[in-house]
A and B are shown apart, each in its own frame.
Chain A
Amino acid sequence: MGELPELLRGEARRTAEVWAGESQGWVAYVIWIVLGGALFGAAVGWWRAPLQACYTALKLPLILLLTALGNGLLNAMLAPLVGVPLTLRQSLMAVLMSFGVAAMILGALSPLLAFLVWNTPSLAEAAARDSRNHGIILVTQAGMIALAGFVANLRLWQALRSFSGRGKASLRLLGCWLAGNLLLGSQLAWVCRPFVGSPQLAVQFLRAEAFQGSFYESIFGIMRRLFFP
């Protein structure tokens, strides 16, 4: 578990010590991401098919790790610019820590999601009969992800503040990191879809058109059709 219980309680002092000294702390964070992300991903994908559960269990931790690594350099450069003196290693550890906390919370909630999926008609039946089941599953997933994200970012801010001693600068840095991670993470999620899948489409690891288009183009298209039909 490492310092996970202390982090969940909001005791950031030990985390700050880990960032300052211990060089292997990132191993625990990666384990949390893989374990928690795989459990939650499996629960998400299970509604479509067991094979989709395996695919999503692989993809969710991959997206978290790729987002942390892909933005590693950017996050490290932003830190001193906004007034938080973190090195490249420390900023990477900070992001991995927050992703790990979120993943472990999602992993702990995954049995609840799996139980909900078990009690819901299969995706094909639900799509044919009643869209409320689809809505319940999506709202539950969104709620769990929102809770995990909120707690993880709150703890990240507390850890940054404890490490640097600068509350406002830590908040600015958190905002910058969130924006950058959202940008990269949403596109990685777009490329790596599907996570639940569709009963009209075969179960696939990646869609054939994975590298055609982007998340934001899709959002733009939806908004345009909504307001300018």
Chain B
Amino acid sequence: MPPLLPTANAGATTRPEIMPLGEDPADREAIAGPLAAVEALLRQPRRVVYWARQGSAGRLTGILFAIALVCSLLYGIVVGTFSLNAQLWAAPLKVAGGFFLSALICLPSLYIFACLSGARVRVSEVCGLIAGLLALMTILLVGFAPVAWIFSQSTQSLPAMGALHLMFWAIATYFGVRFLQHGFSHFGGRPAGLRVWSLIFVLVMIQMTTALRPLVGTADSFLPGEKKFFLSHWVEELQK
């Protein structure tokens, strides 16, 4: 009789996702620098959450914010290549500024909602998770950058480019929020409060794109003179 082929789950014990943080030795591998942080965010988010809970989390939080800043500036340059000229510097500033402003606006309410949901979390840990959220979102956007650039050079349609960037942003936001929810699950929180906050965060980010317009097109001034909600802005742009 030929030997039996080993099954896929041979030797597996408990599922890693329900194991407490730190019990898996891989969680405790140090995150040395930005490249290690990027790899950890994509492949081993538990490592990021584990180190965000340690006393030295400030360094990791700083690295993650720096990654988010660099990646958002890079993606902003790609956004600006549609209209070129002033948008090559205005779009990166607005994209990076929009991400960080949105996070800053929503940070206090995230702490409140996390506590209300029962999570045992400190403000520094919330900052670490927000930094991870931003970093993961912007890393994914950089991954989409070549695709966005090709479309920027191919089409003249402003609504089409806007919709494309929104679609990439939506995908990045999905994974970023999933990281955040995964992180908070290790703090003992119930998911309901975080879902409400996620909705608020998404709305704030969407509105921020309108508040800082134009990101893709051109304008006479850096910021718009007229204030409007994002739905009105989208309807007006589609009607043009």
Name B226's closest neighbour in chain A (CB-CB).
A121
Contact between A115 and B204, CB atoms less than 8 A apart: yes
Whether A105 contacts B112 by the Cβ 8 Å rule is yes
A residues near B106, Cβ cutoff 8 Å: 111-112
Q: Contacts of A107 on B, CB cut-off 8 Å?
A: 108
B31 at the interface (CB under 8 A from A): no
Flag if A151 contacts B116 (CB, 8 Å). yes
* Residues on the A chain within 8 Å of B111, using CB: 108
Partner of A8, one of B115, B200, B227: B115
Collect the chain B residues with CB atoms within 8 Å of residue A4's CB: 115
A10 to B226, CA, bound (A): 44
B210 within 8 Å of A by Cβ?
Answer: yes
User: With A8-B115, A8-B116, A112-B200 in contact, is A118–B109 under 8 Å at CB?
Assistant: no
Q: Which of A1-48 contact B (CB under 8 A)?
A: 1, 4-5, 8-10
**Bound complex: CA A144 to CA B121 (Å):** 23
Contact A115 B105 (CB under 8 A): yes
User: Contact between A119 and B112 (Cβ–Cβ < 8 Å)?
Assistant: no
**What's the least CB distance linking A118 to chain B, in Å?**
7
Tally of chain A residues near chain B (CB < 8 A): 21
Determine the main DSSP class of B at the interface with A: helix
Flag whether A187 is at the interface (Cβ < 8 A). Answer: no
Q: Is the CB of B62 closer than 8 A to any CB of chain A?
A: no
Q: In chain B between 90 and 145, which residues have their CB closer than 8 angstroms to a CB of chain A? A: 104-106, 108-109, 111-112, 115-116, 118-123
Shortest CB-to-CB span from A162 to chain B, Å, is 16
B207 within 8 A of A: yes
Q: Could you tell me the distance between the alpha carbons of A119 and B102 in the complex, rounded to whole angstroms?
A: 13
Alpha-carbon distance A115/B204, docked complex (angstroms)? 8
- A119 near B210 with CB under 8 A, answer yes
What 1/0 mask marks residues of chain B from 228 to 240 whose CB sits below 8 Å from any chain A CB?
1100000000000
Given A109-B108, A111-B104, 18 extra CB contacts under 8 A: A4-B115, A5-B120, A5-B121, A9-B115, A9-B116, A9-B118, A107-B108, A111-B108, A112-B200, A114-B105, A115-B204, A118-B227, A119-B210, A119-B211, A119-B227, A121-B227, A121-B228, A151-B116
B interface, how many residues as a size bin?
20 to 34
The 5 closest A-B pairs by CB, nearest first: A8-B115, A108-B108, A111-B105, A108-B112, A108-B109
List A residues at the B interface (Cβ < 8 Å): 1, 4-5, 8-10, 104-105, 107-112, 114-115, 118-121, 151
A10 and B190 alpha carbons, distance in the complex (Å): 13
Residues in B with CB closer than 8 Å to A10 are 118
Which chain A residues lie closer than 8 Å to B210 at the CB level? Answer: 119
Q: Write the chain A residue with the least CB distance to B200.
A: A112
With both beta carbons as reference points, the residue of chain B lying nearest to A122 in the complex is identified as B227
Chain B residue contacts of A111, Cβ below 8 A? 104-106, 108-109
